[in-house]
A and B are shown apart, each in its own frame.
Chain A
Amino acid sequence: MRKDKKRSLKRPIQVVLSSVVAIIIITALVYVTRGRDIPVLNPHGIIADQERNLILLTVGLGLLVVVPVFIMLFTIAWRYRASNTKAVYQPDFSSHKGFEALWWGLPCLIILTLAIITGIYTHALDPFKPIDSQVKPVTIQVISLQWKWLFIYPDQKIATLNYVDIPKDTPINFMISSDAPMNSFWIPALAGQVYAMSGMSTQLHLMSNSVGSYVGTSANISGDGFADMHFKVNSMSESDFATWTQKAAVSTSSLANTDYKKLAEPSHDSSEATYKLTDASLYNEVIMKYTSPGGSM
């Protein structure tokens, strides 16, 4: 009798306890997330914007499977629990053509849909593909160093360290290489990442659609100073950008090949700097260094 009572109390206590735990977890997560910037979901560039939409679409398709799975899991587990002797028991019920056709078919359909979407968007959002726009694009060459980011504006004859200024609503053609271990160039608010590798030049095309300052990061481990290797992306109006380039082009410090060699030495330096570019082919020289036999190893 007493045991029965204990038993009948056990279930409500379990329900209350698990609800309390769930509420605590959700509250804690909301509390620490509230008001924070979530760049992948709150992008400021047309590429990141489409990537966000694609992410949400894929999650939606995924939920088409997850929701039925969860409903089936818990209802079936509950209904056929051992203590429920009223439920049907068919120990040999082990195949049903209709059911199995359903769950080979349903995922096939979902994946087929997703495959078509993938094909279209992978081509549309190929980072190597230039952005269609009336505005003349700005080319910026990026070199990842130990442990800094160097940005070269070959047309404006400017170079910057650990920050990059871009005009908004203008396609930006990033050309990316490395003079250090492999890295990955990522500005979550503007576009997904692309690797930076020595001896090679990868590309990333993006376009910011609002004025603001965004975080750029290194997404691939590249040695000791990796954690501090981030940069600032300042998106500004076209006229502000023009003013900035004029001012920067007369910057007192210049960047020739010899200065570059010093800069490329390993250092934990996250300070920003602006240079006048005197060696217009610096980017190509850095790449070529790795492609000749007996070149820098």
Chain B
Amino acid sequence: MFNTLSQIIFGRLTPSDFVHDPIMAGAGYAMIGGLVLVVLALTYFKKWKWLWRTWLTSLDPKKIGVMYLIVSVIMLLRGLADVLLLRTQQATNGSAGILTSDHFQQIFSAHGTIMIFFVAMGVIFGIFNLIIPSQIGARDVAFPLLNSISFWLFAAGMIIINAPLVVGEFSTAGWLAYPPLSELQYSPGVGVDYWIWSLQIAGIGSLLSGINFFVTIIKMRAPGMKLMMMPIFAWSVLCCTSLIMFAFPILTATLGMLSLDRLLGMHFFTSGGGGNPMLYVNLIWAWGHPEVYILVLPAFGIFSEVVATFSGKKLFGYTSMVVALVAITILSFTVWLHHFFTMGAGADVNTFFGIMTMVIAIPTGVKVFNWIFTMYRGRVRFTTPMLWFMGFIVTFTLGGVAGVLMSVPPADFQFHNSLFLVAHFHTMIVGGVLFGAFAGFAYWFPKFTGFTLNERLGRYAFWLWIVGFLLAFVPLYILGFMGATRRLDHYDPSLGWQGLFIVAGVGVLLICAGVAMQVLQVIVSIVKRNQNRVGEDPWNGRTLEWSIASPPQVYNYTVIPTVTYRDEFWEMKRRHHTIKPEYTDIWLPKNSATGIIVGLFALIFGVAVVWHVVWLVIVGVIGVIVTLIIRLTSDETEEKLTAAEVAKRELKRQTV
């Protein structure tokens, strides 16, 4: 009687699910402790109202962008803490005895998932929110409320993926949870469910965000800005968001089928009963390979802006760059099978996908040459964004060769699932996406704060990162040649791998020092902000976002510019053309709590499904639907900023 009642109320949750080993418990308590501290601080300083009004319910993409970045940075620290544990385990070959196999497997599964979904994706969406509207001469995104909902779904997914630190356990099936390992037969616990529902909820947020920015770029460009006049970053985002729109539904469907297998005992991907795990492997990579380009295309865009600005010169081969971006976008859907040449598809199929994969190297190579030639006959200023650019070209080219190497199927048979592969994709994602994000962060930071980042600390961070990066990943390439597979929590000492794992561990420590330096850089820059105050255009920028105030007004532009050139702002400065201020009424979206409430119900829904609490699942679903209906029936979603008010704000800004 008591048992059935508790099952109805709590599903499969029991008190013992809160018991964890010391490391997980420590991480969990640290997180909860941090949260409690934040709550106390907010209460003490009476900042709740401010937080609610200026941030949580804001529909201003600049605010939402900052929130994305904050979540991503916290998740980066979590992902890094995971790495420290993984590499300590491997460098000591398990003799330290801090992790069991099970815990080790939970950590690498969490590391991969968090770094891709909650760091890399968060960073790119953060940057889209901050840059895209102002770069294309718009005041806002196409669907401001949808933008807020996307963010809160992302935040809900983030909370679900961290929940296992406190209650239950995480998946041990790796970041892509291949069945049959991820099926009920082999993973009956809540781990895989946490993984599924975290990604499902965050993934829907990503899809909505992708649609939002695609429409924003297509429909809201400033008058005169034809597609071939768009800044190349906007082009890269256009390509990236089209990939999101095509790829993320595949993820949603795949996760949906896996969850039906697990919840209702269906047989999509089980190894018996008519299921087919190979189908899952195909589907997940049909999303997963485009996902790689979803992450890296915006980074390409950032580097294109950075190298042109700091070379004081037009981007070399703009048309080639656009053609290359579009080619990569299309090709990225034709290569997914290279993730499993070893599944036995046969020589003809493997040859096709191998060649398609190497074909992608052509447009990518063209981009590299064009970036380098943007510096040719320029005046290159080696600020931190440029250092990241140089580091990117070096690592990305080397990682690219490793990628081409693995696109040859018989060579891949020797590298697949080895540490060589692990080193390769880290070279691309760290050296490409993360370095791109760092370059973009340093580049656009003054736009949103009004002061620059400390250059000296930025340089130190760069050097720590690049040396740490080499130390962390070159040993993994070598280990791959030695036959070391990924995801091993211990290995036969006679194989002689330990020395390389120790070097890799030292590399991780240097990377951590680099991250600490970056945190210090931000703190020092904020403290000494008065020494680094800059105006609208600190770098002699080329694109429209540099023509508006730093930090920008909520409406970005008082007068929407008319575009006649590719590097519009650069040409404006050259021709001494200024836009005559003219103040009109501006309509802005009102703050809305819909996003955060939808996120909250999605969170409730996710956790309830994981623990099989049926009544709470219903509460979550109904909550989301009712919240949306309430919002849809409301008419007053915008408010007017009068011309007089705009004039007052502009005047105030100019006198400061």
A residues lining the B interface (CB < 8 Å): 21, 25, 28-29, 31-33, 35-41, 48, 50-52, 54-55, 58-59, 62-63, 65-66, 69-70, 72-73, 76-77, 80-82, 87-96, 99-100, 103-104, 106-108, 111, 114-115, 117-119, 121-129, 180-182, 184, 186, 188-189, 191-195, 197-200, 202-203, 215, 217-228, 230, 289-291, 293-297
Contact = CB atoms under 8 A, between A and B. Distances in A.
B500 A195 contact: no
Contacts of B370: 100, 103
Interface in B84-115: 101-102, 105
Contact of B496 (A36, A195, A222, A225): A36
Given A100-B320, A184-B342, A296-B272, A194 B181 contact: no
A38 B482 CA distance: 4
Nearest to A217: B485
A254 B382 CA distance: 72
Contacts of B315: 94
Contacts, number: 312
Contacts of A218: 485
Contacts of B172: 223-224
A32 B409 CA distance: 30
B336 to A, nearest CB: 16
Contact of B272 (A70, A87, A290): A290
B372 A55 contact: no
Interface in B353-402: 354-355, 358-359, 361-362, 365-366, 368-370, 372-382, 390, 393-394, 397-398, 400-401
B342 A223 contact: no
A289 to B, nearest CB: 7
A193 B365 contact: no
B277 interface: yes
A223 B379 contact: no
26 contacts: A29-B500, A35-B496, A36-B496, A38-B478, A39-B481, A40-B480, A41-B481, A55-B414, A58-B411, A65-B401, A70-B397, A80-B377, A107-B365, A122-B354, A123-B351, A126-B350, A127-B344, A188-B414, A192-B416, A197-B271, A203-B344, A220-B178, A221-B487, A224-B102, A226-B488, A289-B272
A123 B393 contact: no
A76 B390 CA distance: 11
B312 interface: yes
B410 A54 contact: yes
A80 to B, nearest CB: 5
Contacts of B252: none
Nearest to B404: A62
Contacts of A293: 273-274
A227 B404 contact: no
A264 B587 CA distance: 68
A3 B73 CA distance: 38
A213 to B, nearest CB: 11
A106 B105 CA distance: 44
Interface string B255-279: 0000000000001001111100110
A91 B181 contact: no
Nearest to B542: A91
B372 A73 contact: yes
Given A25-B471, A58-B411, A91-B312, A32 B499 contact: yes
A119 B351 contact: yes
B380 A194 contact: no
Contact of A227 (B101, B312, B342, B415): B101
Contacts of B181: 181-182, 221-223
B394 A70 contact: yes
B515 interface: no
Given A111-B362, A188-B414, A59 B405 contact: yes
Contacts of B616: none
DSSP class of B's interface residues: helix, strand, loop or mixed? helix
Interface in B173-196: 173-174, 178-181, 185-186
B351 A94 contact: no
B467 interface: yes
A243 to B, nearest CB: 27
Contacts of A123: 347, 351
Contacts of B272: 198-199, 289-291, 295-297
A76 B488 CA distance: 43
B398 A66 contact: yes
Contact of B491 (A89, A114, A227): A227
B278 A197 contact: yes
Given A37-B496, A76-B376, 8 more contacts: A52-B414, A82-B379, A91-B313, A94-B315, A95-B316, A103-B365, A181-B178, A193-B414
Complex A-B, nearest 3 residue pairs according to Cβ-Cβ distance, in ascending order: A192-B413, A32-B499, A188-B483
A202 to B, nearest CB: 4
A262 B376 CA distance: 70
Contacts of A88: 377
Contacts of A36: 482, 495-497
Given A54-B411, A58-B405, A88-B377, A39 B482 contact: yes
B318 interface: yes
Contacts of B355: 115, 118-119
B273 A297 contact: yes
A166 to B, nearest CB: 18
B411 A55 contact: yes
A291 B369 CA distance: 52
Contacts of B305: none
B311 interface: yes
A92 B376 CA distance: 11
A193 B278 contact: no
B55 interface: no
Given A29-B474, A51-B410, A63-B401, A221 B344 contact: no
A223 B177 CA distance: 11
B489 interface: yes
A192 B401 contact: no
A15 B390 CA distance: 17
Interface string B409-441: 111111111100000000000000000000000
Contacts of B412: 192
B362 A107 contact: yes
Contacts of A226: 101, 105, 487-488
Contacts of A217: 483, 485
Contacts of A125: 409-410, 413
A99 B490 CA distance: 51
Contacts of B278: 197
Nearest to A124: B410
A38 B481 contact: yes
A29 B475 contact: yes
Contacts of B408: 54-55, 58, 114, 117-118, 121-122
Contacts of A291: 272
B342 A80 contact: no
Contacts of A37: 482, 495-496
Nearest to B407: A118
B500 A77 contact: no
B340 interface: yes
A127 B413 contact: yes
Contact of A80 (B378, B413, B471, B489): B378
B420 to A, nearest CB: 8
B369 A103 contact: yes
A97 B400 CA distance: 25
